[in-house]
């Protein structure tokens, strides 16, 4: 048996077990709900549960596995998506109609001429839309799993160098946010008149921050103790600005004085935490820095600001690029919707090897995290649409069918889904796909020619 055949057979076995478990679970649940305690009634409930689980669930699972084996999600995305849509829609419609025919017209002996009329028509429509939503979720899951496994480095040596220089330039630009300086000067102005002694302390700490930036900005690594001391000064500055709205924990000692870290990475992460979260006395921002498993972890509670929108993660990519140039260890990002943690590798020696395509692995990891988050949000939106809209249709037609108001949420939400899909795939309706990336590359090439 070929490796691909073994993989498909193993996946088929897992799908069979999953369908069997679903049959038992839903059979028990609906037996209790319908109080079908007689042997015949319970048998029918388990039969219907098995039909839906195996015919719909297992069938779509086999289609999903076959299409994924035939067309690669990453390199043949268009073929995989379109064949997935066509095959899933056709199979789901046929399967639902077949199940309903057996259930309502063979077993319960309803008149066949009523198959596409009245309540049966809406039952078909509801089951088809719900099944397509579930199928779309599993196709999306398959895409994310395969896409994460298939991230490859295809950048040429020239592009690596260009990326490196861009990363260094972006790092220098983002070392101290201009908004932070502007806000700090505003705080200082108010402190001078209200509390001269506090203003003096504030000025001293602010000067230490900028002195450290000037001293360390050209270094590849700095001792972790120096960076932690700088982070403490920086956080004290933020605390003087936000008072009780900011709380932080920074270790006084480290496990090994030889450990080093990329300079100014803590400043960028701390500034990002303030930038992307609500900071108020009622909802304080809590930041913890601690050493664990060879990483320095920077963790903050999540209370996102609604006004600024989604993070672009440019700062995280800059840090990842800088680590990618000096080590093979990855920057790790952990987001459990309660806390956001960035894990920075603690280093002693840096690699001396010639730069290769692995140098950008950290940056691509951050990009992958960002893309997967967007995809997850889109597919959650899609599944919600496929579940909620049929319920709205059912409620509308059952309660007051003369005015079909369900069209308004269905069309409005549907348009939103289309634009969400375009955003996830970096497609501009007027400028085309990946316009930003193409324009950036074009401008970089023009600048190179000019030089």
Whether 103 contacts 51, CB under 8 Å: yes
At 270 the pLDDT is 85
Query: Average of pLDDT values for 183-209?
Result: 77
Q: CATH assignment of 157-374, given 3.30.565.10, 2.40.30.110, 3.40.50.261, 3.10.20.90?
A: 3.30.565.10
Angle at 395 between CA 394 and CA 397, to 5 degrees: 65
Angle at 154 between CA 368 and CA 334, to 5 degrees: 20
Q: Which of 201-205, 298-302, 430-434 has the lowest mean pLDDT?
A: 430-434
At 148 the pLDDT is 62
Q: Hey, how many other C-beta atoms are within 10 angstroms of the C-beta on 20?
A: 14
Give the DSSP letter of residue 112: G
Residue 298 confidence class, pLDDT cut points 50, 70, 90:
very high
Find where tokens 């799993």 sit. Answer: 145
H/E element, 346: none
Q: Which of 133-137, 202-206, 267-271 has the lowest mean pLDDT?
A: 133-137
At 200 the pLDDT is 81
Find where tokens 């001792």 sit. Answer: 223
pLDDT in tens, 370-418: 667 777 778 888 888 888 888 778 777 776 666 677 787 788 788 888 8
Average pLDDT, the chain: 76
Question: Tokens representing 327?
Answer: 């080590």
Going from N- to C-terminal start, the domains of the chain cover 1-150, 157-374, 406-451
């Amino acid at each position: 048996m070929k490796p691909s055949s073994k993989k498909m057979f193993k996946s088929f076995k897992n799908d069979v077990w999953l369908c069997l478990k679903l049959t038992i679970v839903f059979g028990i649940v609906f037996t209790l709900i319908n109080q079908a305690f007689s042997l015949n009634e319970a048998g029918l409930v388990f039969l219907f549960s098995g039909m839906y689980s195996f015919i719909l669930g297992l069938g779509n699972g086999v289609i999903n596995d076959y299409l994924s084996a035939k067309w690669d999600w990453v390199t043949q995305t268009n073929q995989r998506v379109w064949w997935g849509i066509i095959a899933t829609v056709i199979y789901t419609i046929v399967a639902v109609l077949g199940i309903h025919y057996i259930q309502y017209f063979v077993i319960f002996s309803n008149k066949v001429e009523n198959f596409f009329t009245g309540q049966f028509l809406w039952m078909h429509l509801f089951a088809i839309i719900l099944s397509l939503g579930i199928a779309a979720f599993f196709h999306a899951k398959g895409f994310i799993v395969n896409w994460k496994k298939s991230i490859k480095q295809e950048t040429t040596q020239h592009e690596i160098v260009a990326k490196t220089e861009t990363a260094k330039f972006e790092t220098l630009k983002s070392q101290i946010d201009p908004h932070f300086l502007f806000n700090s000067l505003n705080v200082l102005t108010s402190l001078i008149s209200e509390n001269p002694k506090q203003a003096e302390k504030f000025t001293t700490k602010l000067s230490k921050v900028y002195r450290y930036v000037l001293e360390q900005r050209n270094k590849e690594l700095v001792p972790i103790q120096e960076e932690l001391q700088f982070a403490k000064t920086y956080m004290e500055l933020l605390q003087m600005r936000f008072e009780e709205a900011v709380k932080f924990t920074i270790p006084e000692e480290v496990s090994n004085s030889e450990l080093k870290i990329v300079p100014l990475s803590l400043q960028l992460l701390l500034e990002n935490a303030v930038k992307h979260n609500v900071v108020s006395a009622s909802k304080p921002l809590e930041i913890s820095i601690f050493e664990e498993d060879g990483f320095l972890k920077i963790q903050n509670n999540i209370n996102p600001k609604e006004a600024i929108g989604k993070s672009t993660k440019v700062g995280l990519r800059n840090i990842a690029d800088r680590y990618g140039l000096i080590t093979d260890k990855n920057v790790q990002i952990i987001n459990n919707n309660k806390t956001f943690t960035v894990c920075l590798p603690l280093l002693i020696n840096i690699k001396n090897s010639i730069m290769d395509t692995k140098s950008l692995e950290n940056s691509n990891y951050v990009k992958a995290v960002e893309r997967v988050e967007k995809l997850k949000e889109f597919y959650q939106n899609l599944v919600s649409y496929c579940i909620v809209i049929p319920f709205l249709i059912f409620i509308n037609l059952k309660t007051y069918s003369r005015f079909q108001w369900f069209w308004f949420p269905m069309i409005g939400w549907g348009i939103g889904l289309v634009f969400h899909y375009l955003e996830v795939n970096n497609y501009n309706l007027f400028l085309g796909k990946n316009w930003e990336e193409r324009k950036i590359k074009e401008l970089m090439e023009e600048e190179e020619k000019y030089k």
